Amino acid sequence: MTQRSEPIFNVPPVVLATIATLLIAHAVRMLVLTDAQDEWVLLTFAFIPARYDPAADDLRALYGGFGADLWSFFSYAFLHADWLHVGLNLAWLLPFGTALARRFGAWRYTAFMLVVAAAGAFAHLITHLGAMVPMIGASAAISGAMAAALRFVFQNGGPLGLWRGEANNAAYRVPASSLAATLRDPRFLIFLGTWMGLNLLVGLGTVSIGEEGQEIAWQAHIGGFVAGLLLFDAFDPLIPQHAIESEPTA
């Protein structure tokens, strides 16, 4: 009996829930809230580095108090600047979020995405001390998912086989490569170089995305990516490839 292939667009429910949450959050801001209400949302739930600088001006303009000091490390990822911003993030979330959710399961996927979102916010914080400009968007979390997925998609029998119509659920259960092996893999290095280069071009203003004047938080993208690469093993429920190869035989 032949094994049925996994359809490429069979998106896990937790990823569909993520997409729905991001779309609904943005639709409510754009279509329901007044400008004053939307400003309150940004000043309460966006990530604003000035919150953590006692010497910063206009701290009284920020809402949420100590609670916002904590939740904005995560809540900023649910807000977006415009529909293009949402659409670009969803275009990256679909392939990489799907691969990660199929491997991790819903709860590990959710926890991982929140952790790497916080890592992205921290990277933004240390590079924008005292800044009052709100940072929003799921890009840092998606960058973390991207990095984590690259730990296993290049493995033999991995999910890249789905582009040839051969992948099924087992493709997402292959043992992951070690961090050291991943960093030596030419395919990973090519992807990393391309992705880093694009982030730097956007950060330097050479490539423009979105409305004029919008700043791309590329440091947060890199923070999320590095966190995803390093924290993958802590969340991965499967035995890594290097552990299998080092097991003694009878």
pLDDT of residue 232: 96
pLDDT of residue 164: 43
What residues contact residue 72 under an 8 Å CB cut-off, 6+ apart? 44, 45, 46, 47, 48, 51, 64, 121
26-35, 50-59, 206-215 — which one is most confidently predicted on average?
A: 26-35
Q: Report the pLDDT averaged over residues 199-224.
A: 65
Structure tokens at 173: 């259960």
103-117, 124-138, 234-248 — which one is most confidently predicted on average?
A: 103-117
Distance CA 179, CA 227 (A): 12
The pLDDT confidence band at residue 24, using thresholds 50, 70 and 90, is very high
Structure tokens at 20: 């729905």
Q: Report the pLDDT averaged over residues 171-192.
A: 90
| Strand, helix or coil for residue 135 | strand
Which one has a higher pLDDT value, 142 or 63? 142
Distance CA 7, CA 227 (A): 30
pLDDT of residue 125: 94
* Domains, the chain, ordered by start: 13-245 (1.20.1540.10)
The pLDDT confidence band at residue 58, using thresholds 50, 70 and 90, is low
pTM of the model: 0.84
CB atoms within 10 A of CB 139: 27
Tokens 């916002």 locate to 68
pLDDT of residue 216: 72
129-145 pLDDT tens trace: 888 889 999 999 999 99
52-61, 120-129, 230-239 — which one is most confidently predicted on average?
A: 120-129
CA atoms within 13 A of residue 194's CA, in its CB half-sphere: 6
Judged against a pLDDT cut of 80, whether residue 62 lies above it is answered with: no
Q: Report the pLDDT averaged over residues 221-234.
A: 95
| Strand, helix or coil for residue 47 | strand
Distance CA 141, CA 103 (A): 17
The alpha-helical segments, DSSP class H, found in the chain are 13-31, 35-45, 65-75, 83-104, 106-127, 139-149, 179-184, 186-203, 218-235, 241-245
Look at the alpha carbons of 48, 49, 53, 55 in this order and tell me if their dihedral is positive or negative: negative
User: Taking the C-alpha atoms of 141, 144, 146 and 151 in order, what is their torsion angle to the nearest 10 degrees?
Assistant: -160
210 φ/ψ sector (left φ>0, alpha ψ -120 to 50, else beta): left
Tokens 């807000």 locate to 79
